[in-house]
Amino acid sequence: MSRGKYLSLEEARKTGKLNRFAKEHPSEGDRERFERLLDAMSKTIEAEETSSSGNGESSNETQTPRDT
């Protein structure tokens, strides 16, 4: 265990004292910016934007090279 003034994250996790750790280590940040980022990360992207076969065929079809 640590002998210093503050609780380490590892010690807090092992002893179940995460609330104490959070009080000892306050964070500062732009909450509005974080919420916008989290919202953007949680939205799904349309399938047509992420994968395109390029030739209008289904991507699960096997294509044979033309030179064979």
Quick: pLDDT tens for 5-47.
Answer: 888 999 999 999 999 999 998 888 888 998 999 899 888 776 5
* 51 domain residue, yes or no: no
Helices (H) and strands (E) in the chain, counts: 4, 0
Encoded amino acid at 15, one letter: T
Question: How many independent structural domains does the chain possess?
Answer: 1
**Residue 61 lies inside a defined structural domain of this protein:** no
Provide the residue range defining the domain that includes 16: 1-41
- 48: which 2 tokens? 């047509």
| Contact (Cβ atoms closer than 8 angstroms) between residue 21 and residue 12 | yes
* pLDDT of res. 5: 82
